[in-house]
Amino acid sequence: MKRILQYLFEHKTLTRDAAREALVNIGRGLYNEHEMTAFMTVYLMRSITIDELQGFRDALLELCVKADLGAHETIDIVGTGGDGKNTFNISTLACFIVAGTGQKVAKHGNYGASSVSGASNVMEQMGYVFSNDSAKLRKELEAANICFLHAPLFHPALKSVGPIRKNLAMRTFFNMLGPMANPANPAFQLVGVYNLEMARIYNYLLQLGGKPFTIIHSLDGYDEISLTSDTKVITHEGERVMTPEQLGKRMVMSEDISGGNTVEDAAFIFRKILNGEGSWAQNAVVLANAAMALHCTGKYQSYDDSYNAAVQSLESGKAWKGLELLIGLQ
């Protein structure tokens, strides 16, 4: 690792193969905590290259525990995190609304590193028991239309750096890797990113994958549709900017989508919204993200059609029922 660090400190970048090897060695526990911290810090000081990101992804997929979910066409709804906005768990809530429409969801997530509550924090609070047993995950998917893949159980490299990421409390390149390394290999993907440079990189990499995808970035810095400003929307068909009015009927304020100060706060907000008791602004933001995910599948003729399906899932109680079914299987 010292040789790699010296090379990087000279403002050089890694090849795809070198990046893969470095992360494979991290996953195998060959480096100490200080070396790994220094390595991650390099990418806080400069942008990651496409070659480096591809190499890191290659390593995660090489080492990961595969999730066999059968022939189901699943979708993942995930943000890179690291936007520093501390919203409630918008993408995770959107997953349950999407599941309530009948679309299968394989949600890939982790504990929050730069926010109070990541997807894994809130799912744990709900009573979900993490597992990498494919049979259990398939059973959940068939009964509730959703299963949750806790990243450290599938990716040894993520497990080894977890405490370091938490102590740094800043976004690292691992934020960028998560959405590209879902071990269930979903058929569709909605990815939220924290800046336009990241959107460009993801667009390039997801185009190579050949599967339907949608990348979203709120232009005021959120890694999801926040309805606090216009949103950049990128698909394999091109790019456009959509207004809050187009996406969720009207604009909301940033304080309307705060996630609270504790994991317990986040869980309280999560239950309240999914049970149909959220504020207008909270509901609108979650519905917009769910609608964009549904639209990504190509099963709805227009965004408005997918939005109406999301509203029906929430208001009918089907989204809440999915959570009850999922937790009942634990």
Q: Which of 27-41, 60-74, 156-170, 222-236 has the lowest mean pLDDT?
A: 156-170
Q: Say what angle helices 16-27 and 33-45 make with each other, to 10 degrees.
A: 140
Clarify whether residues 22 and 110 are in a common domain: no
pLDDT at residue 295 tops 90: yes
| Residue 174 burial (10 A CB sphere; 0-12, 13-18, 19+) | buried
pLDDT digits over 66-121, tens only? 999 998 999 999 988 767 788 899 999 999 999 999 999 999 998 886 677 889 99
What pLDDT is attached to residue 86? 80
pLDDT digits over 245-275, tens only? 999 989 999 999 988 889 999 999 999 999 9
Clarify whether residues 91 and 28 are in a common domain: no
Clarify whether residues 33 and 148 are in a common domain: no
Number of domains in the chain: 2
DSSP assignment letter at 300: S
Share of the chain above pLDDT 90, in %: 78
187: domain CATH number is 3.40.1030.10
Phi then psi for 269, rounded to 5 degrees? -65, -40
Does the residue 68 lie in any domain?
no
Place of tokens 């998560």: 178
**CB-based contacts of 30-35 (< 8 A; 24+ apart in sequence):** 30/1, 31/1, 33/163, 33/164, 35/1, 35/2, 35/5
Does the residue 20 lie in any domain?
yes
> Bigger pLDDT: 80 or 277?
277
Three-point CA angle 47, 109, 196, nearest 5°: 30
What's the whole-model pTM score?
Answer: 0.92
Reduced to 3 states (helix: H, G, I; strand: E, B; else coil), residue 248 is helix
What residues make up the domain containing 28?
2-63
20: domain CATH number is 1.20.970.10
Distance CA 165, CA 84 (A): 14
Identify the domain boundary among 42, 63, 84: 63
CB-based contact 199:217 (threshold 8 Å): yes
CA 85 from centroid of its chain's CA atoms: 15
Does the residue 69 lie in any domain?
no
Place of tokens 């059609």: 305
